[in-house]
Structure formats: structure tokens, C-alpha cells
């Protein structure tokens, strides 16, 4: 019989802890836009801000509360009367509102921040939770710096907060100090030693100072936590928080480990959400970022590409479509093999039985040596380049001497009927000089009707694609060519046009 799935609640704090990332400030309009997308993504709780922090923050939480229908909207507060009143007022319009109160409990914080004794901290927790519970039915309590708090004291704090009405107890690894085995043990100890723990949902909030936020969050889930705090792209104070996309996809992908657990996230909205947060905060997503980085599903090595085309799961543990990435994951570059190239050419042309010829493959390799990545537009050019053409005159080499105050001179060498011919000419510009040299060799007086040069596809290492139209021997003729050297493509395009005439 199928066991009932256990829900892992996703508490997103991009708009609160995420916005605490230095330089990541958002306007209320931007926060609303992100909140709508978080709701589309299916997050259970949106921590929309810290209402007492500023009038703008209050406004943002209040506006979001009025607009969001499915997710719970949460406001943060210290264990202070004004904070709690402000937070509960800000979420009062929400269909489901929550106040999240926090107080540091570790020895180092109590001693240096508060100069208080443990008993005083306990009474603050008691008073604040009781007060908050009167103003809002849904209260979450966080003992800040929990992972560095003495366990016995932590158990007492948690027990008190639950007794006073906190429905969720969140365990912050505020400074990202813990590691997976240690946090597993801490959560297990809380589960086993806090007498009323089954009256609350246990939650985790990990920071990434040692790069272990996601690992610590997942380890906590295995130990009994049922709510995870996270942020989109792992944004957050200092090194950031546990990244939402990584936590969600780990639970989804490793069903063998997270047995019977599931989140309510629509993973196909992950990529879109990531890019929205990145563009509004100005925090770029590193290319190698798990799940949402540009390279997360990109395969460059020929061996990998070949295997992925045979069976995706050889090198992909997730389907890119499951996180909302539609693009092809095969990056064609110098390590790509013939199979990958043929596959892409077939997709591009729609020709199912297209064969990648040796000429095509050679040309592709030569291009990939010059460019880091070969784009689809390059391939279209490559197909054009390798299609059979009349080759009466074939370019062997060209040399051009040009500059701002010298007359351009071109020396062109061409093969014609198995013979090598060369000619030199000056011209109005380097292209004109080359064309005049070609005319001398071919014995054709061609009139240039049109010349177009465009960069394909983009960037500094783009190719120059040239299209020329000429009139010679009473005929119009067109030639096209591409190369990373624009003089070479200009001459080859011109020669193709001449070849068609002769
Ligand atoms: O990191 C932290 O401890 C926090 C609390 C406010 C939960 O962000
Ligand atoms: Zn935090």
C-alpha cells in the first residue's frame, strides 16, 4: 500500500533575508512582482519583509498581504512590542498571515549583544510569544544562533515558545557554522528532548558561510524537520541562505533518500523565478550554479554529448524541462563529436536523414577551434558553406597591406584548372583591392551590385557573413561565405558569384 506523502513546507525568505544581501535592495513594486512569482512557484510561506525596519518594508509586506491568495504571508519581528505590533498589522490583510519572532539564545549573543542572563531571555520569549499569539493566530519562533546555543537552554526556550502558542519552531544556523552530521544530531536531540515538540512544526534556516546551507537543510529534513527556509538563487545575508532550487530538486530527485516526502513546488517555474530575482536584484547567477546556472545542463565534452544523446540519464540526473529550461543542453564546441553535430543539424534543418559529411565535420572543427561555442546561426552558415558549389576558381591565400595612410594592396592566389595563379592589385579599400586582383585572374570584368556583411551570431568571436551580388557577362550572380576573417569571407563570396557566371 502507498504510504501517504509527507509535505515539506517551503518557507521562502528571498524578500527578507535575501534582500539583506549587501546591494540587493528592492522597491515595493519589485517585491510584489517577485511575490506573485513565488506564489506561482508554489511556495507555502513568503516572508515578505521586516515591517518595523522601515516604512517601505511595512508597505511592501502590507501590499503583498493584500494581493497574495494561496501562500501564507509572513512578517519578521524581534521580541519587542513595537516590532510585533508592526508585523501583525502588516500581515493583517493576508488570507493567511504569520508573524515570525526571533531572539538570540547563544551564549555569545546573550552576553555581548544583550548583557542578559538565560532566565531573562526565557521570560522575553514567553512574553513576546504570548503577545504575538494574541495578535496573530500563526506564530513562528526562531532562537537566533540556535546551532551555537547550549542544548539544554535551547530545549527550554523551544518548550516555552510552544507553550505560549508558537505553531512553528525554526532553528537558525545563523552564521553557517554547523555541518550535516552535527545538525542532524541537534534536530534529533530537539525531537527527543523537548516534551511538547509534537505540537509544533519544526523548521530549519541555514546560512552558507561554509558552503553547507543546502546540505545542512537536507540533513535536518532527514532528522525530522518539516519546513525549510530558503531563498531563490541562495541569495541572503553574507554568503547567503540555502538555495530554494537546490533544496527542492534534491528532495525531488533523491526520492530514494527522501522517502515519501514532497514539496508543493511547481519545479517548472524554478528557472523563470531565478531569472526574475536575478534581474530585479542585479545579482547575476554564476554559470556553474547548481540547477539554474547557464552551464547546469550543458554538456561540452564529446564523450558526454554522445552518451546524453544515446540516453540522457547517463550524464543528467534531472530533466532540464523539470526546472523550466527548454533549451538544448548540448553545447557545440571543440570537444563535440560527429554524432552531436549531426543531431543538431537534423534539428535545425528538419532533415531527418541528414548526414554529417566529412567536409562539414572538418569545417565545424576548424570553426570550433577559433570560437569557444558554435551557435545555431554558425551551423546554418556551415550548411550553406558545405553545400556543393561550382568551384572553377578556388581561393588559396590572400595577403593585404592596408592602413590609414597607405593605399591598400592585395595579393590573391587562386587555383584554376589545377594551376596556381596569382595577381596583385590596389583598390579603394582592402575588399576592393582583393576584388580587382580576382578580376585580373579570372579575366572577368564584374560589377559589384550589392555587398552585405553581418556578424553571426554575436560577440567578439562572431563570424563575418558576406553576401555579394555581381553582374558579369550579362548575368547577375550571388555568392555567400562566412569566416571569422571578413576579408576571407568577402573574397570567397565574390569568387562563388564569379564561379556561377563562368
Ligand atoms: O539567520 C537568522 O538567524 C535569521 C533569523 C531572523 C531567523 O535570519
Ligand atoms: Zn538568516
Q: Which atom of ligand 1 is nearest to the CA of 175?
A: 1
CA-wise closest residue to 290 among 334, 248, 344: 248
* H-helix or E-strand spanning residue 28: helix 28-41
Residues found in the chain: 502
Q: Which residues line ligand 1 (CB under 6 A)?
A: 17, 102, 142, 144, 172, 174, 205, 207
The residue contributing the CA closest to ligand 1 atom 1 is: 174
Residue 62, all three cell numbers:
502590507
* H-helix or E-strand spanning residue 476: strand 475-483
Q: Which atom of ligand 1 is nearest to the CA of 17?
A: 8
Q: What is the pLDDT of residue 350?
A: 64
Q: What is the pLDDT of residue 310?
A: 87
Among the bound ligands, name the one nearest to the CA of residue 83: 1
pLDDT digits (tens, 9 = 90+) for 76-102: 999 999 999 999 999 999 999 999 999
> Hey, which of 205, 229, 241, 242 would you mutate to test ligand 1's pocket, going by the most ligand atoms within 8 Å of its Cβ?
205
The residue contributing the CA closest to ligand 1 atom 8 is: 17
Burial class of residue 158 in the structure, from the number of CB atoms within 10 Å of its CB (0-12 exposed, 13-18 middle, 19+ buried): buried
Determine the Cα–Cα distance for residues 359 and 371; give it in Å rounded to an integer: 18
Q: Which atom of ligand 1 is nearest to the CA of 16?
A: 8
Q: Which atom of ligand 1 is nearest to the CA of 172?
A: 3
Sheet holding 393-403, edge to edge: 393-403, 406-416, 419-426
Q: What is the pLDDT of residue 327?
A: 64
Q: What is the pLDDT of residue 376?
A: 72
Among the bound ligands, name the one nearest to the CA of residue 177: 1
pTM of the shown model: 0.73
Strand, helix or coil for residue 444: coil
Domains and CATH numbers, the chain: 9-281 (3.20.20.70), 298-367 (no CATH), 393-501 (3.30.160.270)
> Hey, which of 13, 16, 141, 144 would you mutate to test ligand 1's pocket, going by the most ligand atoms within 8 Å of its Cβ?
144
Give me ligand 2 centre to Cα 242, in Å.
10
Q: Which atom of ligand 1 is nearest to the CA of 145?
A: 3
Q: What is the pLDDT of residue 372?
A: 73
Q: What is the pLDDT of residue 329?
A: 67
Positions in the chain whose pLDDT score sits under 50: 1
Among the bound ligands, name the one nearest to the CA of residue 101: 1
Q: What is the pLDDT of residue 196?
A: 98
> Hey, which of 106, 207, 228, 239 would you mutate to test ligand 1's pocket, going by the most ligand atoms within 8 Å of its Cβ?
207
Q: What is the pLDDT of residue 363?
A: 87
The residue contributing the CA closest to ligand 1 atom 6 is: 102
Q: Is 88 left (phi over 0), alpha (psi -120 to 50) or beta?
A: alpha
Q: What is the pLDDT of residue 153?
A: 98
pLDDT digits (tens, 9 = 90+) for 326-370: 766 678 888 889 998 998 888 777 677 788 888 889 989 988 888
Amino acid at each position: 500500500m502507498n504510504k501517504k506523502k509527507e509535505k515539506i513546507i517551503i518557507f521562502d525568505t528571498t524578500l527578507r533575508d535575501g534582500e539583506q544581501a549587501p546591494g540587493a535592495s528592492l522597491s515595493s513594486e519589485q517585491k510584489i512582482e517577485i511575490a506573485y512569482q513565488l506564489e506561482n512557484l508554489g511556495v507555502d510561506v513568503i516572508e515578505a519583509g521586516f515591517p518595523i525596519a522601515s516604512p517601505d518594508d511595512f508597505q511592501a509586506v502590507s501590499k503583498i498581504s493584500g494581493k497574495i491568495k494561496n501562500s501564507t504571508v509572513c512578517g519578521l519581528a524581534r521580541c519587542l512590542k513595537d516590532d510585533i505590533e508592526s508585523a501583525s498589522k502588516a500581515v493583517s490583510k493576508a488570507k493567511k498571515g504569520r508573524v515570525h519572532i526571533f531572539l538570540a539564545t547563544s551564549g555569545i549573543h546573550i552576553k555581548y549583544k544583550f548583557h542578559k542572563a538565560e532566565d531573562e531571555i526565557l521570560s522575553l520569549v514567553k512574553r513576546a510569544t504570548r503577545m504575538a499569539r494574541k495578535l496573530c493566530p500563526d506564530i513562528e519562533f526562531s532562537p537566533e544562533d540556535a546551532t551555537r546555543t547550549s542544548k539544554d537552554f535551547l530545549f527550554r526556550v523551544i518548550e516555552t515558545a510552544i507553550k505560549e502558542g508558537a505553531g512553528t519552531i525554526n532553528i537558525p544556523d545563523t552564521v553557517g557554522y554547523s555541518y550535516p552530521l552535527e545538525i542532524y544530531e541537534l534536530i534529533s536531540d530537539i525531537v527527543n528532548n523537548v516534551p511538547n515538540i509534537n505540537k509544533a512544526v519544526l523548521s530549519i534556516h541555514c546560512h552558507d558561510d561554509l558552503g553547507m546551507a543546502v546540505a545542512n537543510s537536507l540533513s535536518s529534513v532527514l532528522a525530522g524537520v518539516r519546513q525549510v527556509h530558503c531563498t531563490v538563487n541562495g541569495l541572503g545575508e553574507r554568503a547567503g541562505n540555502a538555495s530554494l532550487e537546490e533544496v527542492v530538486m534534491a528532495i525531488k530527485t533523491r526520492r530514494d533518500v527522501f522517502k515519501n516526502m514532497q514539496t508543493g513546488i511547481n519545479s517548472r517555474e524554478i528557472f523563470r523565478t531565478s531569472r526574475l530575482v536575478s534581474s530585479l536584484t542585479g545579482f547575476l547567477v554564476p554559470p556553474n550554479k547548481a540547477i539554474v546556472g547557464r552551464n547546469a545542463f550543458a554538456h561540452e565534452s564529446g564523450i558526454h554529448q554522445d552518451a546524453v544523446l544515446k540516453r540522457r540519464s547517463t550524464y543528467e540526473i534531472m530533466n532540464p524541462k523539470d526546472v523550466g529550461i527548454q533549451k538544448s543542453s548540448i553545447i557545440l564546441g571543440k570537444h563535440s563529436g560527429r554524432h552531436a553535430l549531426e543531431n543538431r543539424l537534423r534539428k535545425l534543418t528538419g532533415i531527418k536523414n541528414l548526414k554529417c559529411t566529412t567536409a562539414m565535420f572538418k569545417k565545424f572543427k576548424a570553426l570550433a577551434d577559433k570560437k569557444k561555442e558554435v551557435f545555431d546561426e554558425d551551423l546554418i552558415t556551415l550548411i550553406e558553406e558545405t553545400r556543393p558549389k561550382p568551384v572553377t576558381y578556388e581561393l588559396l591565400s590572400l595577403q593585404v597591406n592596408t592602413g590609414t595612410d597607405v593605399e591598400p594592396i592585395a595579393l590573391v592566389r587562386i587555383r584554376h584548372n589545377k594551376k596556381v595563379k596569382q595577381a596583385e592589385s590596389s583598390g579603394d579599400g582592402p575588399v576592393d583591392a582583393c576584388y580587382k586582383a580576382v578580376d585580373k585572374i579570372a579575366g572577368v570584368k564584374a560589377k559589384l551590385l550589392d555587398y552585405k556583411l553581418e556578424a553571426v551570431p554575436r560577440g567578439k568571436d562572431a563570424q563575418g557573413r558576406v553576401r555579394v551580388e555581381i553582374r558579369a557577362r550579362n548575368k547577375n550572380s550571388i555568392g555567400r561565405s562566412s569566416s571569422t576573417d571578413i576579408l576571407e569571407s568577402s573574397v570567397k563570396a565574390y569568387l562563388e558569384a564569379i564561379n556561377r557566371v563562368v
